[in-house]
Amino acid sequence: MEKPNRSIQCSVEQCTYHCSDCDYCSLDTVMIGTHEANPTEQRCTDCLSFSAK
């Protein structure tokens, strides 16, 4: 079973690293980035550690 990292909450259930039984990431660290040249709001940012199941 994955070990939840209680410092990283995440609700992306489609990610390989999402804990199946709770809304936490199982990685030790994650990289957050952006797909925008000039990010101005929340939806401009992404978890770059995401990996599809």
- Which CB sits closer to ligand SF4, 37 or 52? 52
46 belongs to the binding site for ligand SF4 (CB under 6 A): no
CB of 40 to ligand SF4, least distance (A): 22
Residues 6+ apart with CB under 8 A from 32: 45, 46, 47, 48
CB of 32 to ligand SF4, least distance (A): 8
The answer to whether the beta carbons of residues 24 and 34 sit under 8 Å apart is: no
Cα 45 from Cα 53, distance rounded (Å): 21
- Which CB sits closer to ligand SF4, 15 or 38? 15
